[in-house]
Structures are given as C-alpha cells and as structure tokens.
Amino acid sequence: MRLASFVAGGTERWGFVVDDPVTSAAWVLEPARVAAFLAAYASIPSSGPATRPRPPVDGWPPTLAGFLALGDTALADLARVAGQAARFAARTDSTIVPACGFPVTEVELLAPIPKPRLYWGLVTNAPSFVRNNEKTRIVNLFPLGHQRPQGTAVGAGAAVVFRDGHHRPLMAYNVELAVVIGTGGRYIPLERAMDHVAGYTVVNDVSGTYYYGIVPGNAGTGYSLPPGHDDWLYQATASWGGKKADTMAPMGPYLVTADEVTNPYDLLMYTRQSGRTRDRAHSGAAILGIERVIAWYSSFASLHPGDVIHFATMGVDGLPVPAAELERGTSLEVSIEDVGTLTNPAVVATAPVPPADHPSYAIRAAAAEPALESTQDWTVASVRHFLTSYGNHDPEALSVPRFLNGPPSSLGPGGQVEIPPRATDLVVSVELAVVVRALVTGTGDPDLVLGYLPLVSVCDRSFADAVVEPARAGERGIAAMYGRWADGFNIAATPVPLPSHDWRDREMTLRVGDREIRASTSAYVAGPDELIGVISAMITLFPGDVITLGATTARLEVTREEYAAGVVVHGAIDGLGEASATLRPREGS
C-alpha cells in the first residue's frame, strides 16, 4: 500500500492511494469513507455479496501516526480494505473513487508523518566516507546521527525555504532511504527489528551554512570552520544545525508499506536537480542497516509508532547548489526505486515566512496554538523539542553557543528512572533549563520564556566506553549527546516564572545519595535569551519546548555498583525548586 497524509478542507487527513481505473490518476481514499460506501452498496438488495470492511474497535484514527499505533492487525485490515476498494473500482463501481477521496494533485500532500516525534538522520553511513580517508584506520560500528525538529518536515511539492543567508555561498542535498516505525518498543532484539517497520519513505537531506557563517571571521566560507575552531560539538552544531533548519528535510511522497518492498537493500537511489541527474547510488551500500540501527537505538530509548529514521546518503554527500543558481530558481528531486519520487522547489525567502502560511504543517499547526499563559499549562508529556547547550560553562569556548536536540522522550518528570542494561557508569549534573512560552522565530526576547527550572541530567558512559581508538572526532564526541537520550534521563522540575528574568547568581545544588556538590548559574556564558535567539534564527521553537543551558562543574559520577540497588538524585536551584528521581537498573539486568 501507499499511505499518505494530506490537507483537505483545512484539516489533516490520511488515506491509501489508488490509481483511478478511468483516468489512471492517483487518488487518495479515506478508509472510513470507503467502508461507508461499501456498506451502503451492500444494503441494496440486488447488489450481491459486497463485503463490509471491519473498522478498528475505536474507529479510524484522525492521523496516520495514530493509525500505525493500532498495530499490525489494523495494518493488515487496512490492506484488505485498500485491495477491496481497488478491485471494486476496477470491476464493479468506479464511482467509489471520487465518492471516497481526492485526486492527489488537488490536495496538499504532507510528509507521511507530518509531526514526527523522532526524526533521526544518520550520517557517514556509507563506505565513501572511509574508503579514501587515510586518517580513518578503523570504523566504529555504531550509528552517528542527529535528531531533527518537527519544522524540518515538509511534504512533496512544498517549498524548501532558505532565509537570512542560510544558503550562502551554497546549499547541499541528497537522497536518503527512511523507515517508519509501526510497532513501538524498547530493547528490541536484532532478529525481531524488522517486525517493527511499518514501511519506507524518501527523505531529502538538505543543509545550509548559516551556523557556519555566524562564527566570527567565517562568513562566506561554506561548510568549514576557521583554523583552530576544531571543537567537534561546534562542528556538529554548524553542520547539523543547518539540517535542523525549517523545511530542510522533505519526506514522502508516501509511506510505502513494508510488504511492497521486497529487499530494502537492493534499491537504486537517484538525486536530481530540475530534471537532471546529479548522482546515482544504491541502498545496499549502507554500513549499518535497518536491523542493527533499530536494535541499537532501542537498547537505551523507546521507539514509537510513526518514528522516522533515515539512513544517510549512500552516494555523494551534500550535492552543492551555489547561491546564484538557487536564487534563479531550481527544483530538488530525490527518488528511490519501489518507494517513490519526492520533488520540492527550493526558494530564497525575501521576507520572513508567516508561520500561518509556512510550508511545514507542523509549524502551521503550532502557530494556531495559543501561547502558554501559565506554568500550570505545561507538562513534560507535551514537549515536542528538547534542546541542550554544550560547553556553556567554559569562558574559553567559542563565542557562538553550541546546541543539539534530542528526542522528547529523554525528558521526564522524575520518579523512577530505568537505567538500561547496556549502561555502565553515569555522570549526573544539575542544570538550568527554560520553557518557551510561544512560537519563536528569529528572536531572543526573554519575555518568550514561560518559566525557569532545575533539571537533573543523567549521562550514560557506555557510549564513550564503546569507542575504539583511533576513532574519528564524531565517534568520540557524540557520546556526550547519546548518553542523555535514554527515556527520562533529563529530569525536569515544574517551571517557575521569573518576571524580572533574574536567573543569574543562583546557587545550584546536586545531591547523589549522601554526596553533595554546589555551583552557580553565573557560570553560564550564554543565557536563555541568547540561546533562543541563535537557535530560532533558523529553527522555529514551539510552545512548551525546553532548552537547557547545559552542565556546569556541578556533576558527579555514579558507578553501576552505586545504582545497582537504586540511588536517589536531587538537583536544586535557589528559588526555582528541585528535581529528583530514583535511578534504578532494569529489573533482571
């Protein structure tokens, strides 16, 4: 089946795609309407034995991600409905097509998962990154990758929008195969990993150079940093920040269910520009395949229905499009055999893009939400983006803040926090974090902060322990990010409003068991308003998003022996309350 998310009548909808037997045009049919049509047809006494499709127990969910959460049985039921509808249209009554759906060309196709909870893109996952690099002596076989915000996802035909010099001196893009999770899970064994894949889609991995260019003295140099600026976490900020920008990850046009793709490792992949081929690759080039990536990720964090993982370029990394060519107007096309072709115009914005008219449906939907007026309106469960600053306590650090984002499930309210079996020793820190009040684009206004809170972060050292030297900088550096990604590893207190925004000079206290250490919020180099301004220059922040200013010197190590029977951690900031949790290993580990 080909499944699609789309907008019709101002409402997000979803359905399965069929080819009209009369015109051969693609139509997207809504399953509830198909079921109703067939039931009405069956009620005609002379109609014959028309089968009435069986709906899910609670009806058809309003979104495709919600449908995937119903599991494999519902997916199999939908396949029967889609097959029945196609046969019925071809052999019995073709009016079922216009009665139950819309021509694909007359609706706005969204990304199949328009607001992905996890949008995780791997990097350097093909032999081309290592085969000719004399400095690479070994390859560490664990995924390197970054989480994308929801605003990066756009559907087929939507514009990839570059603004504020994000494309100068060039932008880049390439085709990537993506899997969409159907059945969620944690601690998924390798041999069962493919059971959790609902299907496949195409991702265009687009990037720009804004976050390289804001380093002093680096404007106009493209994808590079000045001499001496070899800090990997900033390299990741600059490179991945350009991929996290709004509209930079088109997805689609459809979710093609797993049964339609005989072998995901035997697919030709093409990158084209305005109809001209730029690169040809093959999905079998992946160093790390679907099974190992799913098993590895779920070894510390849960996967959920509708999560999207894309597997990096298999060909040329980042095909360049110079600014002059982009400004003349061009079209980006990426295609994968048996999965589909995704085409998007790339445009340079001459003015800010109004959120209500944004190419990203996730941003449009967030723009329609009211701003949060009270900290009581906020819950951890409602967070869509969790961003972390790194090295923000070091006065010798780069003058530009370093930041990355992780899955929202890594943020939790405390209570019991399960330590995965893979974990070794832990590093625990207390940090100052803020909650964003409203949709934020391109400003660092402190009044956009709803409240301030202490956050206790747990970082699993097993990611650093797994690195075999001599390693690449990314393999070494990414441990600081992945170590915080486990479910609930960032323990948030209730935010406290500070009308005067006087967050500095507040004592921070961290207790682990009977040990205690103190620091001050004055240790931070960049404050919330500066971080919000830098991030939102390219990345739209949503109401309720959380940004932590990162770890200071207030951190303690906790050995596996210490938390084997459970250990209580507390993090407090003067005047802002306390976050606490019990760290306990998974039962039986």
The rounded distance, in Å, linking the Cα atoms of 567 and 358 is 47
Q: How confident is the model at residue 505 (pLDDT cuts 50, 70, 90)?
A: very high
Tokens (6 digits) for 258: 């797993």
Q: What is the Cα–Cα distance from 39 to 53, expressed in whole angstroms?
A: 8
Band (pLDDT 50/70/90 cuts) for residue 399 is confident
Percentage above 90 pLDDT, the chain:
87
Q: What is the largest CA-CA distance in the chain?
A: 83
Q: Does 444 score more than 90 pLDDT?
A: no
Provide the pLDDT for residue 133: 83
At 130 the pLDDT is 87
> For the whole model, what pTM was predicted?
0.97
Between 64-78, 390-404, 419-433, the lowest mean confidence (pLDDT) is in 390-404
Q: Are 218 and 228 in contact (CB under 8 A)?
A: no
Confidence class of residue 215 from pLDDT cuts 50, 70 and 90? confident
State the Cα–Cα distance between residues 475 and 459, nearest whole angstrom. Answer: 16
Beta strands in 440-482 (DSSP E): 449-460
Q: What is the pLDDT of residue 107?
A: 97
Q: How many CB atoms lie within 10 A of CB 242?
A: 24
3-state percent breakdown (helix, strand, coil) of the chain, nearest 5: 25, 30, 45
Q: Is 137 exposed, middle or buried (0-12, 13-18, 19+ CB in 10 A)?
A: exposed
Task: Please determine, for residue 423, whether its predicted confidence score (pLDDT) is greater than 90.
Answer: yes
Per-residue pLDDT, 282: 98
Segment 397-403 shows an average pLDDT of 85
pLDDT digits (tens, 9 = 90+) for 334-349: 999 999 999 999 999 9
Task: Output the pLDDT for position 54.
Answer: 72
Q: What pLDDT score does 510 carry?
A: 98
User: How much is the pLDDT for 43?
Assistant: 86
Confidence of residue 230 (pLDDT cuts 50, 70, 90): confident
Domains annotated for the chain, with CATH where assigned, are 2-109 (2.30.30), 110-341 (3.90.850.10), 365-589 (3.90.850.10)
pLDDT in tens, 53-88: 777 767 899 999 999 999 999 999 999 999 999 999
Structure confidence by residue, pLDDT tens digits, 32-60: 999 999 989 988 888 776 666 777 767 89
pLDDT digits (tens, 9 = 90+) for 481-497: 999 999 999 999 999 99
pLDDT tens, 518-564?
999 999 999 999 999 999 999 999 999 999 999 998 899 999 999 99
pLDDT of residue 51: 66
If one compares 110 and 42, the residue with the highest pLDDT of the two is 110
Cis amide leading into 149 (omega within 30): no
Region class of 203: left (phi > 0), else alpha (psi between -120 and 50), else beta: beta
pLDDT at site 589: 65
Q: Calculate helix-pair angle for 72-91, 31-42, nearest 10 degrees.
A: 50
With a pLDDT cut of 70, the percent of the chain lying above it is 99
